[in-house]
C-alpha cells in the first residue's frame, strides 16, 4: 500500500463525493526552495499596483464604481475594448 493510498483511506467516501477536482501537485525540488535569489523588489511591485489603480480610477471616473470588481457586463463592454 502506498503512502497516498493510506492517506486517502483516512477520509470517508462521503467527503470524497463532495470533492469535484483532485489534482496532483508535483514535489518542488529542494534547490528551488533554498535558492538565494530574491524575487522582484517590493518597490517595483508597489509602483505597478499604484499605476494600475490610477488607471482604474481614471477609467471609472464619473461612475458610481470604485473598482474593476464592481463592473457588470455593461460596464465591461463599455470600458474594456
44-77: per-residue pLDDT in tens?
999 999 999 999 999 999 999 999 999 999 999 9
Enumerate the domain spans of the chain.
39-81
Q: Which residues contact 65 (CB under 8 A, 6 or more apart)?
A: 71, 75
pLDDT at 1 over 80: no
pLDDT at 42 over 80: yes
CA-to-CA distance for 51 and 31, rounded, in angstroms? 35
Alpha helices in the chain (DSSP H): 3-8, 13-17, 30-33, 42-59, 73-79
End-to-end CA distance of the chain: 55
pLDDT at 33 over 90: no
| pTM higher than 0.85 | no
Amino acid at each position: 500500500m502506498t503512502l497516498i493510498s493510506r492517506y486517502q483511506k483516512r477520509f470517508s467516501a462521503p467527503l470524497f463525493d463532495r470533492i469535484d477536482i483532485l489534482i496532483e501537485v508535483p514535489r518542488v525540488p529542494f534547490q528551488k526552495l533554498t535558492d538565494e535569489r530574491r524575487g522582484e523588489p517590493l518597490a517595483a511591485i508597489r509602483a505597478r499596483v499604484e499605476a494600475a489603480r490610477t488607471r482604474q480610477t481614471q477609467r471609472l471616473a464619473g461612475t458610481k464604481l470604485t473598482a474593476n470588481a464592481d463592473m457588470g457586463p455593461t460596464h465591461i463592454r463599455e470600458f474594456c475594448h
